[in-house]
Structures are given as structure tokens and as C-alpha cells.
Amino acid sequence: MTVDEELSKLEENIRRLKIEFEAYFNGGKPRPPNEMLYGVEQAFKRYLNNPSKLNFAQRFRLNQLLQRYAVHNELWRKKLRDKEEGRAVFPAKRVHTEPLGEGPTRVVCSDPDHEREKVNQLLKALREAKRRAGERTEEIDLARFQKFLSDKTSHLKQKLGCEKVQYSVDVEDGKVKFTAVKAD
């Protein structure tokens, strides 16, 4: 990769870093993008430690990028300090403490492999609860969830000595609560 291509990549990484920090400060990300920040700083150090590799135009461009980064970095540092000290008003991680609709969703299952509509209802309630609690929902797969319910139901039926298991999904204190108990 040529020096000009590396400088273009560095410029793109600074732009992406700015977007990641904005997402963090607006509550869309749980943690600041420290790994990306470290990568950008290492790229700067690589060129600043050996400026003889750069021609005049490349040094000028590097200095422009360094100044842009320094302005953004100072702003991010101030915002982080304010956030940590609780002085500024930032949206918290998107956490909602209100209950799902009219309360927890409850579903009674005896054989999830043959009760597709109940599994779908429970999965929909779980996704909604995770969304309201600010958690990711993309990783919840119907097939894996069905297998999990099937295994859990058979295990609990054997352990508790019952024919049916009641699952409930709710949001309490900003966290998803997924419980299973013996059904009457």
C-alpha cells in the first residue's frame, strides 16, 4: 500500500471514528470506540516517528489530518469527562423501564416442537423486550430459540415433575427478565 493510500485510509478512519463517537454520545453504543481510536493514534505515530518517508505534499496532508484529529480528540475528551462526571446531559444507553404493554408476556408450553405459534409469540415478546431494554435482537434466531425452548422444556418437565412449563418475558429495571416456572 502506498503512502497516499495509507493517508486516505487514515482520513477515512478519522471520519468513521467521528461517527462512532457521535453514536456513543447519543446513546447508540454502550462503550466509546477505544480500539478504533488506538488504531488511528498508532497510524499517526508510525508517520510522525519517521517523517523522512513522506514528501512535502504528504507531510502537509498528514499535518492537516493531525490537526483535524486533534480538534475532534479534544472535543471527545471533554465530552467523555463531562459524561463520566455527570455534568452534561447525554442520553443514557437506550434503556426503557416501562413494562411490555400491559405486563409480562406469559406462554405455557408442553411441547414447543409442536406449538409453533406459542414459540413465535414468545420469540416476538423476547425481541420486543430486548429492543425496549436497548439490547441487540439480530442474534436471536428462530431455529436456535425453538431448540433452546424444546431442551429447556423437557429438562424442566423432568426436573419439576410437571407436564407444562410457563415462560414469561418482562423488562424490569431496564433489563430483560426471561423466566420459566412450573405451570399449573
CA dihedral 131, 170, 113, 138 (to 10 degrees): 10
**Interacting residues of 157 by C-beta distance below 8 A, sequence separation 6+:** 110, 163, 164, 165
Contacting residues for 39 by C-beta, under 8 A, at least 6 apart:
13
How would you write the pLDDT of the chain (184 residues) with one tens digit per residue?
Answer: 888 999 999 999 999 999 999 988 887 888 889 899 999 999 999 888 887 888 999 999 999 999 999 999 999 899 888 888 877 665 554 444 444 455 788 888 888 888 888 888 988 888 888 888 888 777 778 888 888 888 988 888 888 888 898 989 988 877 888 888 888 7
Q: In 3D, which of 113, 104, 116 has the Cα closest to residue 166?
A: 104
Q: What is the largest CA-CA distance in the chain?
A: 80
Cα–Cα dist 75/49, whole Å = 25
Q: How far is residue 112's CA from residue 4's CA, in Å, rounded to a whole number?
A: 58
Judge contact between 182 and 122, C-beta under 8 A. Answer: no
Sign of the CA dihedral 40, 44, 47, 50?
negative
Taking each helix axis from N to C end, the angle separating 34-48 and 3-25, rounded to the nearest 10 degrees, works out to: 150
Q: How far apart (Å, rounded) are the C-alpha atoms in residues 124 and 129?
A: 9
Rounded Cα distance, 172 and 53, in Å? 58
Query: What is the structure's pLDDT at 94?
Result: 46
Q: Could you tell me the residue ranges of all domains in the chain?
A: 3-85, 105-182
Amino acid at 136: R
Is this prediction's pTM over 0.75? no
